[in-house]
Every structure is written in structure tokens, then in C-alpha cells.
Structure 1
């Protein structure tokens, strides 16, 4: 079977056959990943997931040319900001996606038999998720209409700088300057804009805005620092981080077949 087919079957929780066949057979003819009618296990989202604070939807599967591996949604959350201690702004919602085959290959042997309750607070597990150069993607969907590309750049630059220093004090900060340089003032990001960040297995961080690639920076340190914001220490959303642990555990529980 092809890696893509195995990824899909593993996400459905049954590599010998589908749990429930969809009524729309056309879903199986090349457009399977876009169909929410397919059966998926309870540890993975049954269909497009809605982030409750913003009402923004995230598809259960993603696949595209820049990151050819089929990825499945393993967690959703949002980034908020308090203004003047009274008003809360929900800046963006996010969905985190991972590739089942590489999860099984690189993390399954160590963690597949570990109870989920033990994983969600295990720093070694999250460190391994960040260390193993897995296919990971985070999709941000802008919720606040006043958000600018410059504000996004400034927030990322500050957070990534701190995390890079923690990960590797001797890192080459040129990678961060290169990354930030692509966030130019002429890129509009109205509410609903999708900003995707994808880590490839060879350590590239690819950025896309509404499906158009704007950058590709080769730096394993930058990749780790970026996803550390979501599944590392002091994450954007602790609840989302724990949801990722539960769903990754669900994927690993199906590694054996």
C-alpha cells in the first residue's frame, strides 16, 4: 500500500478495511480527504472540527503539494489577548496536524503502550514530538479583523527568539531574521485568512498564506522553536496541547494494525 493510503487507513483506525463505508462513493475516487462523511475513530475528529471560542472550522485531513504527506487533525485551540484588563480579543484559531505514518515509525516503539493519561503531562513525550522532525502543520485562521501581518511578525519574532535561545543558545539567529523578513506590510490578512506553517522531515519551515507559499526556511532549530509554541512549555493553549497528546496516543494505539 502507498504511504498515503496507509495514513488514511490508520486515521480511520482499521488498516484491514473501513469501519463504516461512506454513502457517497465518489469520496473514494481521489477526493477522499476532503469528505467529512468518512468514519474516523473517537480519538480523532469525526468531521470538520469547530474551535468553540471563535466558531472557526478545521478540516479533519489536510494534503497539499508543499507538504505531500497526508496529515490528520490532532488538536484545535485559539490565541487570545486581553486589552486594558477588560476586553478579550480572540486573535486567531489554530488546528494542529500530524502525519500518522511518521508518528508510528518514530514514536510508536517508545510510547504506543503508554497510557494516554501518562502522556498528556509527560515532558519527554512532547520533547520527542518536537525532536523527531515529524511532518507537522499548524493552520492559523485569523479571527480578529484588525490583525495586521506586522503584528503577527512581531509576536512570532519575540516568542521564537526566546524559544530559540532556550533550545540552542548557540543557534544561528539568521534563520529567524529570514523567517520574519517574509511577513511584509503588503500582505493583507483579513478575518478568515488561513496561515499555514509546515515542518518537513528535513527541517524546513514552510509558510503559506491562503494556499500560496511565501517562504521556506531551512532550520531545524526554527522548526522546533515554532512548534514549541503549541506543544512545548508555556504553550498558546494548554488545553489544545493536552488534546494533541490524547489524539496522538490514539494514532499510536493503531500502529500495529
Structure 2
């Protein structure tokens, strides 16, 4: 993964923070969060509109890699020769802490569009995980409390965090808008990015490579 350093002003002091730039959107992601979670991949979410592939947001997926490493070694033992479905499934099903940071790049995005998009995506993900059972009420809980008054301009950040005990917390521009305790919803959100039909296959592959490197 190509990383660069950006200068961040912190209380008058400038410190260099290593970042990785998502190439299709130009969005920078710090390679490490303040709490130590590490960046395992970056990607882009595109949506087809009027026959065009519109870039909606760049994303970075972070994890507590020490806990991921312990999980993989306890379940699999030695490093597999290539990335396989079992590796991804362990991450999807676990409650290892993870953060998905989304940085908006599409200038006409509204909160209602985000709600609809995540509701549909999570709804489909839940159906895959449950053998076809619908649960739209659960799917809509992720963004359900977000007001339409929230303005999403390019650069706005949405963070979805999987916390211990299968709690999913969503922040929009720094404010917590939902906190839902649900193993199924936690699995469904990670499945959107690491499942059989990922939002960005290249990002999923990069995440898989980072998993193998943990062994």
C-alpha cells in the first residue's frame, strides 16, 4: 500500500501523520487511528446513475489487528497459501473491533440518499446471511436517526464502528446518530465490504492480503 505523510496541525505543533491516498477519489486516510486501529484497505463506493459510474465516497477499513491476528491464529493456525472465503468469514462473524470510515466525494449527496442506500445494501446483505429472510427494520436502524437537515458536503465523514459485544455505532460528521446492539447487523455491514459481492473488489482483496500478512 502506497503511503505518504501529511502535516497535521495539532495545537500549534505540526506533526507528520502517515496517510494512504485512495487513488480513484484522492481521499487521504491515516494509516493508524488515535486508538491504534490500523488501516487494512482503502476503496471507493460507486453507484450507477444515468449509465454513469458515479463515485459516492472513498472508504478506509480499520481493525484492531492484534485481536484479528489472535483470532486467525486460534482458528486457522498457519497462514493459508492464498486468500480464501474462510478468512473473510472469520472477520465478518467475529466481534473484533473495526471502523469503516467513509469520506463523501459526491457533491449532491443528501442524508436521505445515504439512508436509502444503506437500507437497501444492508437489507440485501442481511438476506444473504439469513438464507433469504428480510429484516428491513434492522437494516434501517443504522442511519435511522440521521436528520435530513445534516448537510453532507464533499469531505464529510461518516464512521461506522463495530464495538465489543456486537454493538454498531454510527457517527455522521462527528455526532453519534445510532448505536445498535445486533450481531446480525454487525455481520451484515462487514459483509457489504468483505462478502461474496463486495462494494469494491480491489479493497476486499487488499484486506485479504493484510489478513495473510498477520500470520
- Structure 2: how far apart are the matches of 1:171 and 1:222? 12
Q: Counterpart of 1:185?
A: 148
Give the deviation of 1:112 after TM superposition: 5.7
* 2:209 aligned with 1:246: yes
* 2:82 aligned with 1:118: yes
Deviation digits for residues 166-212 of structure 1 (CA, Å, limit 9, x no counterpart):
21256865433333421321111110001000001210110012222
The 5 Å alignment of 1:165-176 reads: 165-168=127-130, 173-176=136-139
Q: Counterpart of 1:93?
A: 58
- Structure 1: how far apart are the matches of 2:138 and 2:145? 12
Q: Kindly indicate whether the alpha-carbon contact (under 8 Å) linking 1:148 and 1:188 is maintained by their aligned counterparts in 2.
A: yes
Q: Kindly indicate whether the alpha-carbon contact (under 8 Å) linking 2:144 and 2:178 is maintained by their aligned counterparts in 1.
A: no
Q: Counterpart of 1:82?
A: 48
Larger Rg: 1
- Structure 1: how far apart are the matches of 2:121 and 2:134? 15
SS at match of 2:142: helix
TM-score, reference length from structure 2: 0.86
Q: Counterpart of 1:199?
A: 162
Q: Counterpart of 1:136?
A: 98
Give the deviation of 1:242 after TM superposition: 0.5
Q: Counterpart of 2:22?
A: 51
Q: Which has the higher strand share?
A: 2
Q: Which range moves more in the overlay, 92-101 or 157-166?
A: 157-166
Equivalent position to 2:89, from 123, 127, 135: 127
- Structure 2: how far apart are the matches of 1:162 and 1:84? 22
**Two-structure CA RMSD over aligned residues (Å):** 2.0
**Aligned positions, number:** 201
Evaluate the alpha carbon distance shift between residue 126 and residue 151 of structure 1 in structure 2; reply closer, same or farther with a 3 A threshold. Answer: same
SS at match of 1:130: helix
Evaluate the alpha carbon distance shift between residue 159 and residue 246 of structure 1 in structure 2; reply closer, same or farther with a 3 A threshold. Answer: same
Unaligned 5+ runs, structure 2: 1-12
Q: Kindly indicate whether the alpha-carbon contact (under 8 Å) linking 2:162 and 2:186 is maintained by their aligned counterparts in 1.
A: yes
- Structure 2: how far apart are the matches of 1:83 and 1:212? 29
Q: Counterpart of 1:11?
A: none
Evaluate the alpha carbon distance shift between residue 114 and residue 164 of structure 1 in structure 2; reply closer, same or farther with a 3 A threshold. Answer: same
Q: Kindly indicate whether the alpha-carbon contact (under 8 Å) linking 2:115 and 2:140 is maintained by their aligned counterparts in 1.
A: no
- Structure 1: how far apart are the matches of 2:49 and 2:139? 28
Equivalent position to 2:37, from 71, 80, 86: 71
Give the deviation of 1:35 after TM superposition: 4.5
Q: Kindly indicate whether the alpha-carbon contact (under 8 Å) linking 1:175 and 1:218 is maintained by their aligned counterparts in 2.
A: no
Q: Kindly indicate whether the alpha-carbon contact (under 8 Å) linking 1:171 and 1:221 is maintained by their aligned counterparts in 2.
A: no
Unaligned 5+ runs, structure 1: 1-30, 37-46, 64-68
TM-score, reference length from structure 1: 0.72
SS at match of 1:94: strand
